[in-house]
Structure 1
């Protein structure tokens, strides 16, 4: 089923921060943020076992437990099985080391086999306190976690998770499946397969106002031709486009901060909020189904919705294009 027929609205809630990403978030603050999202009409929620070693799913499950199941759409991911045993010390998370150091200390097994996929789904259903998932993403089979071994992990997923999820979709157990990654190459490989065919993908950080040229070269044309939809994760580029200091889940470099300053200066010139420019840019591509920014403060939800609905003058997009800050291949919200 096309993602556009599953996901309600153009904006969802990305629950990675509920796993204590970058910092510890009090439980009451996490629940208040989810309440703000619900009260303001957000009905799509995306999470993963990886986010805080199950913490994000537990918090989201607690919130959604009393809501009618047909009133919201839920996606989570496979690729990590969370064990009851705990571990201390730094985890080996490739380029994402330290991101969830404030999460739960449960040991995680990184595995994309058929057996692990089925167990991951069963465990997620328990943590989320629900009887079904709408969309399941195959998580992080890419270079940023596995370096030169990523193709080996991809093959494990192709013969394991892909087949399980394709079967569950065909049986009507889930509505759709795809990849949830921070790199474009795994999606390109998947779209080139004869079978199984994904319904779409969640691409984090690769189609943003700050970083989009690589995605426009191959993966987005391939997805458009295949009829696969895209959910844009990390539309604020790990927060640096929204006043934060992280890019690619790490402290932003001086070069990135300088580019952000240039973007903000142009936005200020036209009376545009940088958050509005970021969200509306990511949504302008015809492959994009929705954006899923994360938040840990109730006030951020209102800011995101205001940004989504802000009127941005065509002159801003025109100058953005003329300045070379966006690719000539990128569709813009208004004709430049």
Structure 2
């Protein structure tokens, strides 16, 4: 059974990093209204992680989804970070290139640990925070250079001998339906595919297969994943928000070069009457290796925009012009290629 078969038929999921107070302090009622809006519009796949606000995203999601039938939605979370009872200043955390993503999150300390024992503990802790008796998919979180610099391979090796094996056993025992990596870089995914003993069901790849940034994934990861019949969930389809009117790219203020490219995409979209969100979502889903796309949101109106974007009609000439102007890679699959 492929990853696609484990996910809902509607390919639009919901990434809940914003519910962990990413970049801002989100009121409880706003977080609840956002998840409820997603549910009413048909979203049935929700992705979270202990890392998002030191457990805050999982706690909020568990409280809100608790009123809906568990059998009607797919739930994924991540391992690799343990949330401790000790506290610290969230703004002082060293998150590598990611800076103070969750400075408004819970003050609990976070311990990086990819061993088998920590993986099992993390799963148990997530079940409690999410108030559920089972997880569908578990991703091994952030074993990549953007969080660990030149030491990322040390963490990858710990995960290979720990989390990978523990999650494989949980899948074999029927405790979870699948596992893979949840990362912002293609290199750990490629390395995992080269391992004979690792058999991931898929990858959650954030920010690396978007309208703005996709060439490395297209050239290297997608062919390798297709050869192993491993599918991709695309996270961060709006490139940390810069494609949706924000100012962040890679979780940092966007560079002048990035802003200039976004301006070109936006000008072309406006000329054809195309919402940029629609172009971003439909571009990602045009690749046959992509099983789902999971934008994040913290306001109900943003969720409505995402669902409208999924089904918006985009004229073929927009895609042709996008390709002709070199704004997407020549080999990137587009909706007009189907």
Say whether the fold is shared (TM-score over 0.5).
yes
The superposition leaves residues 117-172 of structure 1 with CA deviations (integer Å, 9 ceiling, x where unpaired) of 01100000000000000000000000000111001100000000000001111111
Contact 1:314–1:335 under 8 Å retained in 2: no
Runs of 4+ in 1 over 3 A off after TM superposition: none
Unpaired runs of 5+ residues, structure 1, are none
**Aligned equivalent of 2:325:** 323
**Aligned equivalent of 1:47:** 48
1:1-336, aligned counterparts within 5 Å? Answer: 1-8=1-8, 9-88=10-89, 90-335=92-337
Q: Residue 335 of structure 1: CA displacement?
A: 3.0
Q: Residue 84 of structure 1: CA displacement?
A: 1.1
Q: Residue 65 of structure 1: CA displacement?
A: 1.3
TM value normalised by structure 2: 0.98
For residue 334 of structure 1, give the secondary structure of its aligned residue in structure 2.
helix
Between the aligned partners of 1:166 and 1:196, the Cα distance in structure 2 is 8
Between the aligned partners of 1:141 and 1:225, the Cα distance in structure 2 is 23
Q: Residue 301 of structure 1: CA displacement?
A: 1.1
Question: Aligned residue pairs: how many?
Answer: 336
Between the aligned partners of 1:335 and 1:111, the Cα distance in structure 2 is 43
Unpaired runs of 5+ residues, structure 2, are none
Contact 1:231–1:292 under 8 Å retained in 2: yes
Between the aligned partners of 2:52 and 2:293, the Cα distance in structure 1 is 18
Between the aligned partners of 2:225 and 2:276, the Cα distance in structure 1 is 27
TM value normalised by structure 1: 0.99
Q: Residue 66 of structure 1: CA displacement?
A: 2.1
Which moves more between the two structures, 216-225 or 134-143? 216-225
Q: Residue 194 of structure 1: CA displacement?
A: 0.6
